[in-house]
Amino acid sequence: MSTRGLSVAEARALRADARRNREAIIAAARQVFDRDEQLRFDDFAARAGVGVGTLYRHFPTREALAAAVYEGEVAALCQEARDPERSAGESLDAFLRGFVEYMVANAGLARALAAVVDPAVLADGGIELESTVADLLARAASDGTIRSDVPVGAVMIVLHGIGSATDRPDWASESRGAVELLLAGLRKT
């Protein structure tokens, strides 16, 4: 028996249930943020199919919820880059192109999260993205796919530029072109 009088199996079931509730809240919030909907914080609970108390137990504020959505999005992007089935060069290409496609598909989400996520959380996500890019660059340089003299900061500046130019009329196609230029510049000649 656990300290609360529940069997180990019951305690595990509660943890699994709590995990599902948390995931449901994050999924609902992602949709709300992506559509740039204006929603009272308490209404996220109904969208997720949970009670208000469950919402507040997991996320005491809108900012905490937005941070969880952002952290999940960054983690998913970075995890995709670590696909063991791809070569280092293929992983780098897929990550950079995927980053742009993600930004194009989720521009509303990016704007909404930037407006409510604490800059420290954004910085943490940036650190994770930069670490992933650094790893991809190092792996691709070590196998001879790309040049070894390109600093990770140069690539990050291109990615930041893409993310900050969403108000341009041809942003999507220009962003895809910028990544293709970046990839061409990384290749050994």
Residue 2, pLDDT > 90, answer no
CA 6 to mean position of chain CA atoms: 36
Go through the domains of the chain in sequence order and give each one's CATH number.
1-60 (1.10.10), 62-189 (1.10.357.10)
pLDDT value at position 3?
39
Per-residue pLDDT tens over the stretch 50-59: 999 999 999 9
Q: 3-state DSSP: the chain helix, strand, coil percent, rounded to 5? A: 75, 0, 25
Per-residue pLDDT tens over the stretch 114-162: 777 777 777 778 898 999 999 999 999 999 999 999 999 999 999 988 8
DSSP for 97-160, written as a single string? HHHHHHHHHTHHHHHHHHHHS-HHHHHHHHHHHHHHHHHHHHHHHHTTSB-S---HHHHHHHHH
